[in-house]
Structure 1
Amino acid sequence: MKIQFAPSEVPLHRRLQTASVLQWVYSFLGLAPTCICLFFYLLFTRFWLISVLYSVWWFFDYDTPARGGRRVPYLCGLKVWKYMRDYFPIKLVKTADLDPRQNYILGFHPHGVLVAGAFTNFCTYATGFPQLFPGLTSYLLMLPLWFRAPFFRDYIMCAGLIPSDKESAKYPLSKRGGGNAVVIAVGGAPEALDAHPGTYNVLLAKKKGFIKMAMEHGAHLVPVFSFGENEVYDQVGNQRGTMLRWIQERLQSIMGISLPLFHARGIFQYSFGLIPYRRPITTVVGKPIRVERNEKPTAEQLDALHQLYMDELSNLFEEHKGNYGVDEDTHLNFV
């Protein structure tokens, strides 16, 4: 394979964009293991007291992720996230107003490999979420596993990330006065295995937990589709029914995380690596679906709202797909 190296005269702003994405990829893939190793390493050095004191802090702070986390607005507004936004670039599109007196569940589709669009739009201020939706605070759900990593848990909470378990997701929705938007990548880790360029598979047909949660809390549902989310990485062929897919699904059921074999470009060359491609991501936030509070919905009511949500997501995709390079004959495939 011939390696295509990046030209030496790349402008500084593009190098900064690549550096910002590099730190994000490392944070997503390697920072948690690094923090765990550092925690135990310090115990066997003269700095052992750091880990001991952190353990005490962790004990008293253990429930914070399940109680809305601890967002730090200053960190969400750092310029590094604007460089990351411009790398792809990533854009947030508003199609309707969201009343800040209400609480919302935003269903994010598709998951993609590393949910770059969800993180940039709803965990940072780089694409203007506070200006587009004034009065709303967004909370992106993440696997609870990552909140068990020392130091790392504090870092991800700074960006408004909270665990994806039921109790943690309910906390912002139970607050009176509204103004909270819980963002759920509905397809979750399993959907990442379908994140191939040019595919529009949405793992939603049997996903009704977030629908029930919306009904129990009277939180309005908002479909969100992120065009280009599946385009930033290539993935080794793992069609359903293949041995690789069986192994990946088996490991996912055991560990709770999926292991897509993805690749794109490197830091100084364009031929291979884990840095995503520079391909645009446009996240379109649809109009809200009004949901009346119903603490004990029947199966029929749940199915009806679930079908309405799928219809609205499909309509959102059909309405906007022509603006973002999707063929007219391409439609969402609900799995």
Structure 2
Amino acid sequence: MPYFKQPKYLQSLMLLQWPLSYLAMFWILQPFSIYLLFTCLWPLPVLYFAWFFLDWKTPEKGGRRSAWVRKWCAWTHIRDYFPIMIQKTKDLSPEHNYLMGVHPHGLLTFGAFCNFCTEATGFSKIFPGITPHLATLSWFFKIPFVREYLMAKGVCSVSQPAIDYLLSHGPGNLVGIVVGGVGEALQSVPNTTTLILQKRKGFVRTALQHGAHLVPTFTFGETEVYDQVVFHKDSWMYKFQRRFRGIFGFYFCVFYGPPQLKEEKILTLAPFLFPSLLAVGEPLPLPKIEKPSQEMVEKYHALYMDALCKLFDQHKTQYGCSETQKLLFL
């Protein structure tokens, strides 16, 4: 049966519109705005770009989220494609601010996006009084139109000023940081539980400076939704990936999903239908220390890794991991 006639065609279309919407804003909407400058409608792009520069600091001051955008039915179709779920182990009190470590990065962070940037999994009902923000690369907010779309979903810049602003206001703010960053994307292959965390300690220092509680999370199934071609470190393709990251801030990954026509081995970019569950661990209270020592950072970093391992071990057998599988920190 052709893929577009299968029951999941609607979910697949909604999943496709997610990345295509950003491409459309960049390659269609922006050139169209420039075109309008040479027509009788020139005041429209002029007003927008004037406001764009006046509004430059908004992404670093909490953004401008839209409850309407976060509740679009498109996100529920994306949720149902895998499906994507969220599970809490402890309540998060709205009397505190939180810095949440999101693991693993995966290739497109479907789990983190659906849970923190939309209401598809009911985040506001599961954690009442908590306002989630998912941090991403700062340069995305320098792109006209794209920045508005990101902020509407509650995405914030991963820059230090943006995180400091959110954690110094509130209470009830939660900032999710994909700690492994884009480096973890190159290691995102099925059946792996390797995290880049051993030397990533800046988020702990930031949490201490604001007295924010640290919250570990792990998304089971995030690395299972795509197969990836992993290149040897001496290959020209790996060197290209490194150079690409140096220019754009993220890796050019070669990945693929399952064939949609079984009789024809044609691979696609549609993800595998693998359930994704984001387990939210118990918050780790931290004291507020304006200038934490390295020893203090090391102490709470070790406690955070222990809490993350505990969270993983508690849920791993329920979601496809073996009893002997462990997290590996690099």
Residues 189-237 of structure 1: CA deviation (Å, up to 9, x unaligned) = 1111111111111111111111110000000000000000011111112
Paired with 1:268 and 1:53, the residues of 2 have a C-alpha distance of 49
Aligned to 1:219: 212
Aligned to 1:264: 257
Amino acid at match of 1:135: G
In the TM superposition, residue 154 of structure 1 has moved relative to its aligned partner by 0.6
Query: Match for 2:147 among 145, 153, 161?
Result: 153
- Quickly say closer, same or farther: Cα 1:130–1:64, change in 2 above 3 A: same
Residues 159-178 of structure 1: CA deviation (Å, up to 9, x unaligned) = 001111100111110014x1
SS at match of 1:245: helix
Residues 236-269 of structure 1: CA deviation (Å, up to 9, x unaligned) = 1235555433332232133312211122258888
Contact in 1 for aligned 2:260/2:266 (Cα 8 Å)? no
Aligned to 1:203: 196
Pairwise CA RMSD: 2.0
Paired with 2:266 and 2:276, the residues of 1 have a C-alpha distance of 21
Amino acid at match of 1:70: R
Query: Match for 1:317 among 306, 312, 319?
Result: 312
Paired with 1:320 and 1:153, the residues of 2 have a C-alpha distance of 36
Larger deviation, residues 245-254 vs 179-188: 245-254
Aligned to 2:299: 304
Contact in 2 for aligned 1:107/1:186 (Cα 8 Å)? yes
Amino acid at match of 2:102: F
Contact in 2 for aligned 1:25/1:275 (Cα 8 Å)? no
SS at match of 1:141: strand
The TM-score with structure 2 as length reference comes to 0.93
Aligned-pair identity in percent equals 42
Aligned to 2:80: 86
Query: Match for 2:59 among 65, 79, 90?
Result: 65
SS at match of 2:243: helix
Paired with 1:273 and 1:31, the residues of 2 have a C-alpha distance of 24
Aligned to 2:110: 116
Aligned to 1:293: 288
Larger deviation, residues 212-221 vs 55-64: 55-64
Contact in 2 for aligned 1:107/1:224 (Cα 8 Å)? yes
Contact in 2 for aligned 1:67/1:171 (Cα 8 Å)? yes
In structure 1, runs of 5+ residues without a counterpart are none
In the TM superposition, residue 326 of structure 1 has moved relative to its aligned partner by 0.6
Contact in 2 for aligned 1:220/1:288 (Cα 8 Å)? yes
Q: Map 1:21-36; keep pairs closer than 5 Å.
A: 21-27=15-21, 31-36=25-30
In structure 2, runs of 5+ residues without a counterpart are none
Residues 5-29 of structure 1: CA deviation (Å, up to 9, x unaligned) = 4273x23xx2221111111132356
SS at match of 2:148: helix
1:142 corresponds to 2:139: no
SS at match of 2:102: strand
Contact in 1 for aligned 2:25/2:145 (Cα 8 Å)? no
